[in-house]
Structure 1
Amino acid sequence: MTTGQDQEEKKSGSLKVIYAAIVANLGIAVSKFIVAAITGSAAMMAEGIHSAVDTGNELLLLVGERNSAKPADAKHPFGYGKELYFWALIVALSIFSLGGGLSIYHGIDALRHPEPLQDPTWNYVVLGVSALFEGYSWNVSRKALNKLRKPGASLWQAVHASKDATVFTVFIEDSAALIGLAIAALGIVLGHFFDNPYFDPAASVLIGLLLVGAAFTLARETGGLLVGESIGVEATRKVRDLFEKDPAIDSIASLQSMQLGPDEALLTAAVQFRRGMRIDEVEDAIERLEKAVMALYPSIKHIYFESGALRSAMA
């Protein structure tokens, strides 16, 4: 069973993922821009844009984390948990427009007007250091995902199942960053090996397309959570099994759920209680089911029974 202390640890873990990504991306972005200005590498410029956008994105995720922690009020009776999903969707849009769009534009412009090849030594140094920093940030987000990953599941399946937009957003960003570094390095190496100035800007275009793909992946994951994703097929099945085993339940019409935040969900139950039950027996059954569901999935903090079920039980 997940306790309040466990949820605090998860919150702390999400913030650790963001802070690690900010430190890594900020330092990397500055170094990439400096080297891109010295060497004229379009791929390094694309990578600098990528890291700068990622730094801004992590700051947006911090805004989302802070706003999602606000307590419920009259205007938002179920709290502000979905604020995190909103800001994660903004992050996806910024990756698409700023990261992907600018990298593709800069690469195409460099293909039209290629610059003479320069000494690539500093490019390799920065790419190597960047890989170390990005690898550290990626590993922090990977460990956070592993805590949520079920036995036998892949990291991608863990991303798809995760309700914590902070963790899977940083993981997808860092994964794209590591692949982008490999593409940039390959473009620079091939350009100097063949003495061809077109490989480098072509790498910039590929990095932009990679970021567009990452943006669409993030938008799909966060968009589903924002518009009201359920707790999942497997979780719903387990809750249904729990209801079916209770002696007070005659039949189950439907169980509907909605994720309200990383650690908060709502469940509505349209069930048929046994006919002729006394009001105190119905109340005991409801209390018993609520405790059982919350013990099974502590994130389900709101459980509502359809009024028709109560009327039929006491008819």
Structure 2
Amino acid sequence: MSAGGGTKAIVAALLANVGIAITKFIAWALSGSSSMLAEAIHSVADSGNQVLLLLGGRRAQRKATPLHPFGFGRERYIYAFIVSIVLFSVGGLFALYEGYHKYHEATTNADRGAITSWQWLPVTVLLVAIVLESFSFRTAIVESNAVRGSASWKDFIRRAKAPELPVILLEDLGALVGLVLALFGVSMTLITGNGVWDAAGTTMIGLLLVVIAVVLAVETKSLLLGESATDEHVKAIAVAIENGPEVERLIHMRTMHLGPEELLVAAKIAVRHDETADDVARGIDATERRIREAVPIAKLIYLEPDIYHQKG
């Protein structure tokens, strides 16, 4: 996985989530807070997701085979899409179910679902988790800033070709917001003695995770279907093609990402009608070299020579 894939951010998030998940489970077991259980499952889902991202990055580095002649770069997109499914089902739907269960308990039991034992523990765990998640989120921001350039955060998440950093950014942001919601629910339950607040915090966590999962699924689906090169790369490739004596003009061009660092370029170029086959072949080789110099991730290039006829 390249540096642009954000391996450092993934590892930082994984280490943080494993430790946080363990402490949340302990806090839930001792206090019975549903918000703590929802957050514990959330951290487990996030930890599994980071393992999936690391696995996808490793598998994507395999060399092309006769069965898969364009390589395995898109495995990173597949695993990122699986992450969105895990976040939606294991994280979001479980939290919604647990919120409903806690609400039913708070409205039917005599103790109203209050937290009666180890009351200080959930708050302490949540405050410590917020600090740890903040460090993880900061690492993701630093890693993203190194590759996003002048793009806004919204555009970066929507247009990034490497899926790992947007996934980690949204996961860490969701984790921080979820922790604040859990802290709100637990605190209000301790103040009022009514578990409905705990149920409300759990439900809000579930809704948050579902929204983030849907955003990830939509963006990753677009990458799986095959996105074109960025506008900057398209312009650079077009200039490289036409910036030489071998090509009269670019007739049309198609690009597609086979992976975050592998771009397929297919173009029809106009050559002079009196050129020999040997001249055309040398011209195509020279044009391909210019394209690779302009856009190094253009690994697969197919140029079709043609005679351009002006219409009208």
Taking structure 1 as the reference length, what is the TM-score of the superposition? Answer: 0.89
Q: Within 2, Cα distance between the matches of 1:63 and 1:30?
A: 23
Aligned pair in 2 of structure 1 residues 9, 268: CA closer, same or farther (>3 Å)?
closer
Q: Within 2, Cα distance between the matches of 1:178 and 1:99?
A: 14
Contact in 1 for aligned 2:236/2:295 (Cα 8 Å): no
Match of 2:215 among 202, 214, 217: 217
1:148 corresponds to which letter in structure 2? V
Contact in 2 for aligned 1:264/1:299 (Cα 8 Å): yes
The residue aligned with 2:125 is: 126
Report matched runs for 1:115-264 at 5 Å. Answer: 115-118=113-116, 120-151=119-150, 153-264=151-262
Q: Within 2, Cα distance between the matches of 1:219 and 1:260?
A: 18
Q: Within 2, Cα distance between the matches of 1:124 and 1:276?
A: 80
Q: Secondary structure at the match of 1:190?
A: helix
Indicate yes or no: 2:15 matched with 1:23. yes
Where structure 1 has 5 or more consecutive residues not aligned to the other structure, the ranges are 1-7
Contact in 2 for aligned 1:231/1:265 (Cα 8 Å): yes
Contact in 2 for aligned 1:148/1:162 (Cα 8 Å): no
1:122 corresponds to which letter in structure 2? L
Contact in 2 for aligned 1:64/1:83 (Cα 8 Å): yes
Q: Within 2, Cα distance between the matches of 1:275 and 1:54?
A: 59
Q: Within 2, Cα distance between the matches of 1:296 and 1:169?
A: 29
Q: Within 2, Cα distance between the matches of 1:295 and 1:191?
A: 62
Q: Within 1, Cα distance between the matches of 2:248 and 2:282?
A: 15
Q: Within 2, Cα distance between the matches of 1:169 and 1:175?
A: 10
2:244 corresponds to which letter in structure 1? D
1:89 corresponds to which letter in structure 2? F
Q: Within 1, Cα distance between the matches of 2:133 and 2:94?
A: 21
Aligned pair in 2 of structure 1 residues 238, 85: CA closer, same or farther (>3 Å)?
same
1:103 corresponds to which letter in structure 2? A
Deviation larger for 103-112 or 116-125? 116-125
Report matched runs for 1:289-308 at 5 Å. Answer: 289-306=287-304
Report matched runs for 1:257-276 at 5 Å. Answer: 257-276=255-274
Contact in 1 for aligned 2:254/2:267 (Cα 8 Å): yes
1:171 corresponds to which letter in structure 2? L
The residue aligned with 2:70 is: 78
The residue aligned with 2:285 is: 287
Indicate yes or no: 2:92 matched with 1:100. yes
Q: Secondary structure at the match of 2:237?
A: helix
1:29 corresponds to which letter in structure 2? A
The residue aligned with 2:110 is: none
Q: Within 2, Cα distance between the matches of 1:54 and 1:177?
A: 9
Q: Secondary structure at the match of 1:258?
A: strand
Aligned pair in 2 of structure 1 residues 103, 243: CA closer, same or farther (>3 Å)?
same
Indicate yes or no: 2:3 matched with 1:10. yes
Q: CA deviation at 1:78?
A: 1.2
2:233 corresponds to which letter in structure 1? A
Contact in 1 for aligned 2:137/2:169 (Cα 8 Å): yes
**Size of the alignment, in residue pairs?**
301
2:199 corresponds to which letter in structure 1? P
1:259 corresponds to which letter in structure 2? H
Q: Within 2, Cα distance between the matches of 1:220 and 1:290?
A: 34
Share of identical aligned residues, percent? 35
The residue aligned with 1:54 is: 46
Deviation larger for 239-248 or 19-28? 239-248
Q: Within 2, Cα distance between the matches of 1:193 and 1:237?
A: 60
Taking structure 2 as the reference length, what is the TM-score of the superposition? Answer: 0.90
Contact in 2 for aligned 1:145/1:155 (Cα 8 Å): no
1:10 corresponds to which letter in structure 2? A
Contact in 1 for aligned 2:114/2:189 (Cα 8 Å): no
Q: Within 2, Cα distance between the matches of 1:186 and 1:110?
A: 15
Deviation larger for 89-98 or 265-274? 265-274
Q: Within 2, Cα distance between the matches of 1:171 and 1:143?
A: 10
Indicate yes or no: 2:26 matched with 1:34. yes
Contact in 1 for aligned 2:81/2:217 (Cα 8 Å): yes
The residue aligned with 1:5 is: none
Contact in 1 for aligned 2:246/2:284 (Cα 8 Å): no
